[in-house]
Amino acid sequence: MKALAIGLMMWMQANCNVPGIAPEHNFCNLNWDNPAPVIIILPPKELSKQFRIKHGSVPSGDTSNLRGFYLPGTNKIYMRDQDYSNVLYQSDIIHELVHYMQDQNGLLSDCPPHFEVPAYLMQIHFYKKETGVGASSTMMELYKRDYCNTLYK
């Protein structure tokens, strides 16, 4: 998993011009000189349990489809046990790597849309570039409706 994380971080740095990103969240301005985080693979139920234990939250409140999460202030990403040779599931890691890089660069804030929307945009950007197929995110649209969101409409 470490080699995959390094490869995906290199991809993100080389493809940092993500459509729709607010200037203050531009991935090209990040300091990418960080070691790859540790990726911990867990079965779905254990992943949801760890997410709740570590006080994670999602707008819908439903964690049954949770694919992963980054634990802020650490170098740990928790991911669902799935086939990471599949581009779709690699995009899940991309999403969490974005949060890791945001944390390393001081960009995690009290307004979830300001870190979640960029993560979804990078995830979609990766999937589209790797497959040639468009993608969208229902969760991103939920975050955009959050009261504190001033950057993504």
Q: Tokens at residue 29, please?
A: 């301005």
Which distant-in-sequence residues (6+ apart) come within 8 Å of 19 by Cβ?
121, 125
Does pLDDT of 91 surpass 90?
Answer: yes
pLDDT at 60: 66
pLDDT band at residue 96, thresholds of 50, 70 and 90?
A: very high
Domain-wise residue ranges, the chain? 2-36+81-144
Does pLDDT of 35 surpass 70?
Answer: yes
pLDDT at 84: 97
Q: Which range (40-44, 64-68, 93-97, 104-108) has the least confidence?
A: 64-68
Task: Compute the CA torsion angle 26, 31, 32, 36 (nearest 10 deg).
Answer: -120
Q: For 50-73, what is the mean pLDDT?
A: 83
d(CA 108, CA 130): 27
pLDDT tens-digit series, residues 104-152? 999 999 999 999 999 999 999 999 999 999 898 888 998 999 999 999 9
